[in-house]
């Protein structure tokens, strides 16, 4: 049974005070808090095992190697992939950059097109902008409606700036045989919009059959069950720190057949087969893409985090977040009707635990600062998604994001404190 109080007790951070108040942490979209199990696993690693992997024949090195192998298998199992297809990176951003370079340099040419969406975090936008500019390829952007949902069809807009041709339209206008990469987020980090992956993949495969599909899973993998095989995708990028794991460890999952054909992204130790003064051959997967010493303790923490989430159950976590979201939206819509806030984002089922808003007449940073005085941590600004935020006619938004350890009482508390915000400015 999902017991939020029991879960909260496993996160030591909730013992602390912020500005004399209990911490209400509504910024898990930026990074999640860590349970004792993850902190302890990393601590134990440094205290009892610490040795480099793959390099020593002695016991502690073999133990370290085994811990990394186990974590890799656990992460692979968590997303329905195979161990050798899991590449440890630093974060989602690095995982996407890896694909944009190692795959993009070889597979995108002049006249090709890359499709992204207007919902993308800068991490899944700028690597493709830069690739398209380098290759004289077209960047196509799927438009959103007034609720922040991707549109099937709309009037096409085309413009060119700084050597990059951008085409904005609906899926129907943008998908064709020129498209070689479709990269989209599983869930918007700002509005919570969920993109149905399986359904989208089917459309892409039909209209752009030679395209490769990458899903930015930074906001998806921490919040719902994922099965890369069932979803039929080619690449999945995500970050450990948003799913109860440590900062410094990300994952790129890729389909073995595609990864095998790609050249390495970084060169150095541990990623080679045979080395001569004139060159080298590459190790097999996943080492080929993991040059140098990885964040071993972080990987151990990441493995522990996925096992922790698995133990609680991703479906249970998603259900809990859904109930928090519905509760928060109902309360926030009340504030909207009273003229206190403007709300952004979908009003349907396809939405994860994120509430984006502005207190009318108050800058988002001011709102966030006032809420912080009461111990409520929310994000404000552009959320690394400037084109998305600006498309709502504002320069910034406040964002509250929920995770497994949040409660309805915390939402009630935030609502009461939001009502304090306009008073400061009267």
Ligand X SMILES: Cc1ncc(COP(=O)(O)O)c(C=O)c1O
Residues found near ligand X in the complex (CB under 6 A): 30, 91-93, 121, 123-124, 185, 189, 216, 218-219, 239, 384
Q: How far is the CB of 419 from ligand X (least distance, A)?
A: 28
Q: Is cis: bond before 286, omega within 30 of 0?
A: yes
Q: How far is the CB of 62 from ligand X (least distance, A)?
A: 31
Whether the Cβ atoms of residue 220 and residue 121 lie closer than 8 Å to each other: no
154 is catalytic: no
Among the listed residues 68, 74, 82, 87, the one whose alpha carbon sits nearest the alpha carbon of residue 251: 87
Question: What is the residue-wise DSSP string for 284-328?
Answer: -TTGGG--S---HHHHHHHHHHHHHHHHH-HHHHHHHHHHHHHHH
Nearer to ligand X, 75 or 218 (CB): 218
Nearer to ligand X, 222 or 375 (CB): 222
Question: What is the residue-wise DSSP string for 336-391?
Answer: HHTTSEEEES--SS-B-SEEEEEETTS-HHHHHHHHHHTTEE-EEE-TT-HHHHHT
Q: How far is the CB of 7 from ligand X (least distance, A)?
A: 22
How many other CB atoms are found less than 10 A from the CB of residue 196? 13
N- to C-terminal Cα separation, the chain: 46
Q: From the candidates 132, 154, 244, 384, give the one annotated as an active-site residue.
A: 384
Nearer to ligand X, 64 or 123 (CB): 123
Nearer to ligand X, 53 or 218 (CB): 218
Q: How far is the CB of 252 from ligand X (least distance, A)?
A: 11
How many other CB atoms are found less than 10 A from the CB of residue 312? 18
Which region holds residue 84: left if phi is over 0, alpha if psi is between -120 and 50, else beta? alpha
How far is the C-alpha of 63 from the C-alpha of 69, rounded, in Å? 10
Q: How far is the CB of 241 from ligand X (least distance, A)?
A: 6
Q: How far is the CB of 338 from ligand X (least distance, A)?
A: 30
Nearer to ligand X, 121 or 255 (CB): 121
**15 CB-contact burial (10 Å; exposed 0-12 / middle 13-18 / buried 19+):** exposed
Nearer to ligand X, 208 or 239 (CB): 239
| Residues assigned a catalytic role | 384
């Amino acid at each position: 049974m999902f017991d939020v109080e029991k879960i909260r007790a496993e996160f030591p951070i909730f013992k602390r005070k912020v500005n004399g108040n209990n911490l209400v942490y509504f910024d898990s979209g930026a990074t999640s808090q860590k349970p004792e199990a993850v902190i302890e696993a990393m601590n134990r690693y440094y205290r009892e095992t610490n040795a480099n992997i793959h390099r020593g024949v002695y016991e502690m090195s073999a133990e370290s190697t085994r811990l990394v192998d186990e974590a890799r298998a656990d992460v692979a199992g968590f997303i329905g992939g195979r161990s050798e297809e899991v590449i440890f990176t630093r974060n989602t951003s690095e995982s996407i950059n890896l694909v944009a370079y190692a795959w993009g340099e070889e597979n995108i040419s002049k006249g090709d097109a890359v499709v992204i969406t207007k919902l993308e975090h800068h991490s899944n936008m700028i690597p493709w902008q830069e690739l398209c500019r380098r290759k004289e390829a077209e960047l196509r952007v799927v438009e959103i409606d007034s609720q922040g949902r991707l549109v099937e069809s709309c009037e096409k807009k085309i413009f060119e700036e700084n050597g990059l041709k951008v085409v904005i339209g609906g899926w129907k206008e943008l998908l064709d045989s020129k498209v070689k990469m479709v990269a989209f987020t599983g869930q918007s980090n700002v509005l919570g919009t969920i993109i149905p992956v399986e359904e989208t993949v089917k459309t892409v495969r039909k209209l752009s059959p030679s395209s490769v599909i990458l899903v930015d899973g930074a906001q998806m993998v921490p919040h719902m069950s994922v099965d890369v095989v069932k979803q039929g995708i080619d690449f999945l990028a995500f970050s450990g720190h948003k799913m109860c794991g440590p900062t410094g460890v990300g994952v790129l999952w890729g389909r073995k057949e595609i990864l095998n054909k790609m050249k390495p992204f970084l060169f150095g130790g541990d990623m080679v087969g045979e080395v001569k003064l004139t060159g080298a051959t590459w190790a097999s997967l996943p080492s080929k893409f993991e040059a140098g010493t990885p964040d071993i303790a972080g990987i151990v923490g990441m493995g522990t985090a996925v096992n922790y989430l698995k133990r609680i159950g991703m479906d249970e976590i998603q259900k809990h977040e859904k109930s928090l979201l519905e509760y928060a939206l109902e309360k926030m819509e009340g504030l909207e009707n009273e003229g206190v806030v403007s709300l952004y984002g979908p009003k349907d089922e396809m939405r994860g635990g994120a509430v984006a808003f502005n207190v009318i007449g108050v800058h988002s940073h001011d709102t966030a600062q006032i809420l912080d005085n009461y111990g409520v941590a929310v994000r404000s600004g552009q959320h690394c998604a400037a084109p998305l935020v600006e498309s709502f006619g504002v320069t910034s938004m406040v964002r509250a994001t929920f995770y497994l350890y949040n409660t309805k009482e915390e939402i009630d508390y935030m609502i009461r404190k939001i009502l304090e915000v306009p008073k400061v400015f009267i």
